[in-house]
Each structure stands twice: as structure tokens, then as C-alpha cells.
């Protein structure tokens, strides 16, 4: 069968094998451990929580064969992981992974600012493309291409009308670009063959344009072959705040939905928000009861045509692309194609833990799931 994982040498979990909870990963599945136990509605949620018939009967101490050789972080931490699908050990501790999705939530990079002669604000950033390995799942090393050593890259924040300069240096082994979504001149578009086009290894280029239109946008490499250049990790959020601002949010954050193709082919073996599968299962997003939560939600997922976002026990207002100040929808589930993004706004009326995840069950079971933890106000 084509889904047989290799059990020696480098860990190469195939998507099919992981979903089946097979072979090297059989010791781990047990998604069922978390869902129905504290759920008031096990019938509805069984679909989120069960990988296969065997899922429920695995060890609860978190020990397993897969990822053997990876350092562990203690029994308490591992105990939390007994309930995860697909691979052993749940999420990798951020310090070991090299990615901290919780820190990325609130990390808006406003750049270095100065004032131009015409009174406008100039924002400047240095962005460097570097090849870097990340341990995205226990024992699974992803040879990434990154902007500034992180996946996703920095979330660039500007105000509508600001002048922007992005000083890009390619320190990687392949040619890259930065293609920004926005309104700008062709030669600043980061498209190969136009203007500076591809930036060769060791070369630099400064992208220069104005911040318009306001909204929640993104940037990514546009070198061909395009799919791997994006899927290797060259992307990030690009937020343009309206000139007059938005109503103040109490808790504003960015969530970049991505995937990892760890075994070649044209499919992903892992999915995540802000770069690390299952991270928000172990480190729930902290919010307070009744506060206004604003999420800049961006889908950069390669290979799969559609991603989605669903929250439990609540509904949210959705602002597609963030380009208008009135929401278009009040819902609990939205879908985004690659490059699509928008703003999710909600308040949690009740304390407790509420799941959020791709409503595509397969993505959720391969890492794209987490919790909001609502503290009583
Ligand atoms: Cu590239
Ligand atoms: Ca694959
Ligand atoms: Cu794009």
C-alpha cells in the first residue's frame, strides 16, 4: 500500500498512513482521548475526535515508538498528548521546534519608522530569506525556507498611506522574491522577469510602495516552481490598518493557516496555525470573557485547494480581506482558498475551553486544531 511509513532512517510519515494511525504511528493515535470526555455533545463531536476504530485503545502515558530519539519534555507534558491523532507526542515544544505560534499571535512588526519631508510615515523592514530546519512534529524535521528564520515570516503592520520599504536579502540557496498583495507598480511586485524579478542567492533588493488598500493581506515568494517556494515556508501576514483605525480590540492577533509536505508528492502531511501542528491544543489561545477578540486569519496552504476555520460554542463576524468596516457574515465557519484572508471578530460570553479547527476533519486530525481558553472576567 502506498501509505506505508518508513520505520527506519529518517521519519517520513505519509499522510495516508498517519490518518490510518498505522505502523510507526499506531502507538499514538487516541484522538478520542480528548473529545468526548469533556464534551456535552459527544455525538456531534465524535467526528472530530476519532481517527479510526483503534484510536481509543492506545497508551495514555504518551510513550511510543514514533519519534524515538527525540528528546522529551517530561511526563506531565506528554500526558497532555495522549489524546492526539496521527503521530506520537502531539506538538513539539516551541523552543525545540524553532517556531512559537503563541508568540506569533501577537507579534506585529511595525518596522523602523521615520517621517518623510511630506509628513508621511516611512516604515522600513529588513527581511532575509534563510534556509532553516524546523522540528514541526516530534522527530520530523522540515527543511524550511524562511523569511527571517521563522515560519510564518514576520507579520508586517502598517497604516494606510504609509510609505513602505522592504529591504530584502536572499541568504538562501535558491532564487526568491517577495510578492506583496496590495496596489503597487509592476516592478515592485516581486514577480520573476519583471523589474528586479528573481533575487539570486547573495543579492538584495528594496521593494518600495505605499500601504494600500487597508485590509488583512499577505506576502510570499513568487519564484517558480511556485508551489514549493510557498510551501517551504516563504510567506507572512501583511496588515494595513485603515487611516481612521478600527474600533479598538482588546485582543488582536494573527493566525496564518499553513501545511507541511514532508515526504514529497503534492500533498501535506501536517497542517497548522502559525506554524506548529497541534500547538494550540497544548497552549490554548488565552482570551478573556466578553473582550473583543480580533483575528487576522490568512490562508497560505499549498496543495489543498480550500482551508477553513470553525469555532466551537460561538459565532463571529467576518470581514472578507478586511477591506471594509462592516462584516459580511455572522457565522461559526468560513472557508478560504489559498491567498484568501479576512478578519474574524468575536466575544466569548462564557468562560471555558472552546475548540477551533479546520472544519475539514482530515486537516484537523493532522494538526490544525486548538483551543481558546476563556478566563472569567
Ligand atoms: Cu522562493
Ligand atoms: Ca506529501
Ligand atoms: Cu499571493
Note the pLDDT tens digit of each residue in 194-222: 999 999 999 999 999 999 999 999 999 99
**The C-alpha cell that represents 239 in the structure block:** 496588515
Task: Output the CA–CA distances (angstroms, integers) from residue 1 to 4, 14, 22, 209, 237, in the order listed.
Answer: 6, 11, 11, 51, 39
Is it the case that residue 53 has pLDDT exceeding 80?
Answer: no
Q: What is the mean pLDDT of the chain?
A: 83
Mean pLDDT of the region 266-280: 97
Best CA proximity match to 240, nearest among 143, 75, 100, 123: 123
Residue 48 has pLDDT above 50, yes or no: no
Ligand number nearest to the C-alpha of 15: 2
pLDDT at 78: 36
46 C-alpha vs ligand 2 centroid, how far in Å? 27
Is there a shared CATH topology between the 101-241 domain and the 251-375 domain? Answer: yes
- In this structure, how many other beta carbons lie within 10 angstroms of the beta carbon of residue 262? 21
Instruction: Using alpha carbons only, give the angle 245, 250, 251 rounded to the nearest 5 degrees.
Output: 100
- Residue keyed to cell 480590540: 249
For ligand 2, the distance from its centroid to the CA atom of residue 265, given in whole angstroms, is 5
Task: For residue 177, report the distance from its CA to the centre of ligand 1, in Å.
Answer: 6
Enumerate residues 6+ apart whose C-beta is below 8 A from 151: 99, 134, 144, 233, 258, 275
Instruction: Give the tens place of pLDDT for each residue, 313-332.
Output: 999 999 999 999 999 999 99
Distance in Å, CA 259 to ligand 1 centroid: 16
Could you confirm whether domain 251-375 is CATH 2.60.40.420? yes
Predicted pLDDT at 23: 35
pTM over 0.85: no
The third-level CATH classification (topology) of the domain covering 101-241 is Immunoglobulin-like (2.60.40)
Domain ranges (residues) in the chain: 29-58+82-86, 101-241, 251-375
Amino acid at each position: 500500500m502506498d501509505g506505508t511509513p518508513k520505520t527506519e532512517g529518517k521519519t517520513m510519515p505519509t499522510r495516508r498512513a498517519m490518518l490510518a494511525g498505522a505502523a510507526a504511528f499506531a502507538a499514538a493515535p487516541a484522538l478520542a482521548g480528548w473529545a468526548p470526555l469533556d464534551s456535552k455533545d459527544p455525538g456531534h463531536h465524535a467526528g472530530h475526535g476519532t481517527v479510526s476504530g483503534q484510536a481509543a485503545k492506545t497508551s495514555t502515558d504518551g510513550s511510543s515508538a514514533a519519534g524515538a530519539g527525540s528528546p522529551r519534555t517530561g511526563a506531565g507534558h506528554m500526558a497532555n498528548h495522549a489524546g492526539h491523532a496521527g503521530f506520537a507526542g502531539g506538538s513539539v515544544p516551541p523552543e525545540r521546534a524553532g517556531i512559537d505560534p503563541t508568540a506569533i499571535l501577537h507579534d506585529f512588526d511595525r518596522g523602523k519608522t521615520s517621517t518623510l519631508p511630506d509628513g508621511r510615515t516611512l516604515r522600513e523592514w529588513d527581511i532575509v530569506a534563510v534556509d532553516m530546519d524546523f522540528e514541526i512534529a516530534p522527530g520530523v524535521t522540515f527543511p524550511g525556507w524562511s523569511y527571517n528564520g521563522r515560519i510564518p515570516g514576520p507579520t508586517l503592520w502598517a497604516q494606510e498611506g504609509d510609505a513602505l520599504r522592504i529591504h530584502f536579502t536572499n541568504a538562501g540557496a535558491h532564487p526568491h522574491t517577495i510578492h506583496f498583495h496590495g496596489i503597487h507598480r509592476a516592478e515592485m511586485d516581486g514577480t520573476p522577469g519583471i523589474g528586479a524579478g528573481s533575487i539570486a542567492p547573495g543579492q538584495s533588493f528594496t521593494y518600495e510602495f505605499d500601504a494600500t488598500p487597508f485590509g488583512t493581506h499577505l506576502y510570499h515568494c513568487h519564484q517558480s516552481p511556485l508551489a514549493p517556494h510557498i510551501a517551504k515556508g516563504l510567506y507572512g501576514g501583511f496588515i494595513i490598518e485603515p487611516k481612521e483605525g478600527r474600533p479598538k480590540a482588546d485582543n488582536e492577533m494573527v493566525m496564518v493557516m499553513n501545511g507541511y509536505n514532508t515526504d514529497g508528492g503534492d500533498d501535506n502531511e501536517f497542517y497548522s496555525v502559525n506554524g506548529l501542528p497541534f500547538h494550540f491544543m497544548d497552549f490554548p489561545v488565552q482570551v478573556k470573557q466578553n473582550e473583543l477578540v480580533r483575528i487576522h486569519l490568512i490562508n497560505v496552504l499549498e496543495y489543498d485547494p480550500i482551508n477553513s476555520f470553525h469555532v466551537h460554542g460561538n459565532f463571529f463576524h467576518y470581514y472578507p480581506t478586511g477591506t471594509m468596516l462592516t462584516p459580511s457574515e455572522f457565522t461559526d465557519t468560513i472557508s478560504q482558498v489559498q491567498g484568501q484572508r479576512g478578519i474574524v471578530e468575536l466575544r466569548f460570553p462564557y468562560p471555558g475551553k472552546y475548540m477551533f479547527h479546520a472544519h475539514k476533519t482530515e486537516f484537523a486530525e493532522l494538526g490544525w486544531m486548538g483551543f481558546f481558553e476563556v478566563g472569567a472576567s
